[in-house]
């Protein structure tokens, strides 16, 4: 069984799944997709992007100069998409197992008691 992905990594890859984004775009998209539960800090994000690039899960898409500063856009690679898909399936299986146990305990699917 593969090790689980850290939550920030999951949300970074998820944010890049639909299009290439620069750092602040990744931060905003991860927050939006997680319903505000995940707030990536710039230092954490850029260290993670460097690590993910070294692992071949993301790559630099392009760079542009905005207000005299370089803005680097990242995109998901095919191995990154494969890793994200595997983690998505792992999380789904875990949630399904928990839901089945709750149902056996007498809770409905929304986590509310059935009684």
39 domain residue, yes or no: yes
Evaluate whether residue 15 is within a structural domain: yes
| Any domain includes 110 | no
Q: Check pLDDT > 70 for residue 58.
A: yes
CB-neighbour burial class of residue 36 (10 A; exposed 0-12, middle 13-18, buried 19+): exposed
Query: Is the residue at 13 inside a domain?
Result: yes
pLDDT, the chain, mean: 91
pLDDT of residue 110: 57
Domain of 29 in residue numbering reads as 7-105
Inside any domain, residue 2: no
83 within some domain = yes
- pLDDT, mean of residues 70-76: 96
Q: pTM value?
A: 0.85
The total of structural domains in the chain comes to: 1
Residue 107 or residue 78, greater confidence: 78
Per the CB < 8 A criterion, the answer to whether 33 and 82 are in contact is no
What's the pLDDT at 115?
44
**Mean per-residue pLDDT for 40-58?**
96
Q: Supply the pLDDT for residue 112.
A: 56
């Amino acid at each position: 069984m593969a090790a689980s992905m850290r939550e920030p990594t999951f949300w970074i890859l998820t944010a890049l799944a639909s299009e290439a984004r620069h750092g602040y775009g990744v931060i905003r998209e991860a927050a939006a997709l997680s319903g505000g539960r995940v707030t990536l800090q710039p230092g954490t994000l850029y260290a993670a992007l460097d690590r993910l690039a070294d692992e071949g899960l993301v790559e630099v898409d392009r760079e542009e100069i905005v207000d005299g500063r370089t803005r680097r856009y990242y995109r998901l690679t095919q191995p990154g998409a494969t890793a994200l898909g595997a983690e998505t399936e792992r999380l789904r299986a875990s949630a399904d197992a928990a839901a089945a146990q709750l149902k056996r305990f007498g809770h409905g699917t929304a986590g509310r008691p059935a009684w």
